[in-house]
Each structure stands twice: as structure tokens, then as C-alpha cells.
Amino acid sequence: MQEIRFHGRGGQGTVLASISLAKAFFEAGWEVQTFPLFGVERRGAPVEAYLRIAHEKIYLRSGVYTPDHIVVMDAKLIGAIDVTRGLKPGGWILVNSPVRPHIDVTAGGFHLAWVDATGVAVAHRLGTRTHPIINTAVLGAFARTFGMPELGHIEAAIRQEVPVKKEENVAAAHAAYDQVHFLNGEEA
């Protein structure tokens, strides 16, 4: 079983990204479980969502404390909150950022990747310039960073989940897939 934690802000589609990803993994034959941080979500406030994937039925129903990987939807959260808390040594960190995010990877032997999901969303006219909808771009970048699930399953999940601009969202996932940067060029 693998556990992935998502960090974002209320209104950014963090929970929806986790749900869409769960559906994509499910389509790809995985067992899945996803849930938000149990609480009250406020627009702009830090939020978390969690995803478990496994090849057998998932029985564990307590919180996620030591994720295998993390996804950060907003680079400004780094430093404001401890995004790598509990992250297993050797885990991957995917950040939405136009430049290399300031995050210490040496202590935990973490792997770092980043993508300008905000830039991709704006280029595909998803949301507004001040409030771009970035989650579909993040899903594309996730597929590239982790080598799973296949982009086709991401596409299917986006078409199923996103109510408007389905094709623009699929295109954003493709664009982000191609624009992921890897620290030291090391891919998963």
C-alpha cells in the first residue's frame, strides 16, 4: 500500500484532485481510498487530502501520518507549514512551482519534482488569471512524476469528474505532463 498526502488551499481543488486521482487509479485496476483532512474547509486556508492505493482491499481507516509521497499544490505553503512532516525517507515531493522550490531534500533523501501548474492552467484558460484551476494540470504532472497511473486513465477521470471545459482540462494535464522538472534530472 502507498499513501500520498496533498497540501493545498481551500478552493484550489485539492480534495477534487485527490478524488480524481483515486478514480484514475481505480480505472487502472488499483484499490483506492481517499479522504480530506476531517474538518471545516475555508477558502484560502491550508487544506490536506489523503490517498491510499493498493493491490488488495484497503482495511486501514485511520489517518495518514507517514505518507510515501506528497503533492504540494501551492509552493507558498512551504515554510508556512511543515509539508514534509512524516514523509518516508526516499519519498517523492511534487510541487506546483515555476522555479525550483525551496525545500530541504537531503535530510530525508527525498526526491523533488516541480511543475508550473498555475502557468499551464492560465495558458489553457482554466479559471481566472487570479484564481486559476490547477488541479487537472497537477494530475498530469503526477502521472509523469510517479509513472502511474497512465495518462489515459487520468484523461478518463478528468472527463468524468470535471463539469466544464473537459477538453481544455485534458490538454492541461498533457501539457503539465511534458513540463515536469526533476531535481538533478532524476526521474522516478
Smallest distance, other proteins to C-beta of residue 58, A: 7
Smallest distance, other proteins to C-beta of residue 181, A: 30
Nearer to other proteins, 19 or 75 (CB): 19
Smallest distance, other proteins to C-beta of residue 146, A: 19
In this structure, the strands spanning 92-96 and 111-115 are: parallel
SS3 44: coil
Binding interface with other proteins (CB under 8 A) = 19, 22-23, 26, 31-36, 38-40, 58-63, 65
Smallest distance, other proteins to C-beta of residue 87, A: 18
Strands (E), 17-75: 31-36, 46-54, 69-72
Nearer to other proteins, 61 or 129 (CB): 61
Nearer to other proteins, 30 or 110 (CB): 30
Helices (H), the chain: 14-27, 117-123, 135-146, 151-161, 166-178
Nearer to other proteins, 34 or 145 (CB): 34
Question: CA of 125: how far to CAs of 47, 120, 122, 131, 167, in Å?
Answer: 24, 9, 5, 11, 12
